[in-house]
Amino acid sequence: MPELPVIAAYIFGSIMVFAFLSRAFKGVRFYLRVLNAYLLLLTCAAYGVIASVTLKLVGKASISQWATARAFKTLGCPGLGIEFDVEGEEYLNTRPAVFISNHQSELDILFLGRTFPKHCSVTAKRSLKYIPFLGWFMALSGTVFIDRANRKNALAAFGNAVKEIQGNKQSVWIFPEGTRSYFSKPDLLPFKKGAFHLAVQASVPIVPVVVQNYSHVLHLQDRTFEPGTIKIKVLPPIETKDLTAEDVNDLVVKTREEMLKVIQSFTIENKKLN
């Protein structure tokens, strides 16, 4: 696929932007970086549409989202000046699985670009399906759309996801918080149970992916958007083979507590280093 010219052009343009950003005021840097991020998203969504169609034609549709995620990471990390320090990366090879992670802001799509495994699909609210380019890419690449306003449709979508997991070994990535937290502190919103019910029904492991609170890089309320390093820790898979629906509540609580400990440990480590 002809992605190299696009990548080269984007990186060159980003270098020119950063030459100006380094001399600009914080507020100006914020808006220019946001603009840069949205241009990046639009570019990769368009690329994702082409990649999804091409990969489907050659029988490799299951890696469409992985291919687009990697393109986003290849452009986004140098383009925005953001790096990721990933621990436990070997657990991303678990297949099939239900991957879960904390959901902080729109920048999460960049860490997905760094960690998203092959043969995996995201879940998303149904309204995203109708956004030009982004929605087209998501629909073509096998996104599991959830209609949160209609319980029957939501259950049907999860039922189809179970079939994909069991039949095609296609993993699923879910944000159990259900919405972005925009936290400036190391914390988590309450978890919804859908991801855990899905894992139990499909009898596949849950793989928690914990992302450091990155308000030092992006904090929308403070109009902060700076380069930096974000830590990620992939935890060992949690087996669900012998679990039933009655075990889901305990599973949710224990998993959230474990993820919260890791997020808080990132903050403690940073304070010691500083």
Predicted confidence (pLDDT) per residue in 91-111, tens digit: 999 999 999 999 999 999 999
d(CA 256, CA 251): 8
Could you give the number of structural domains in the chain? 1
Q: How far is CA 29 from CA 24, 223, 226, in A?
A: 6, 9, 8
State the pTM of this model.
0.86
Give the whole-angstrom CA distance, residue 124 versus residue 108: 13
What CATH number does the domain containing 209 carry?
Answer: 3.40.1130
150-177: average pLDDT = 84
- Return mean pLDDT, the chain: 87
Domain of 251? 4-273
pLDDT over 80 at 156, yes or no: no
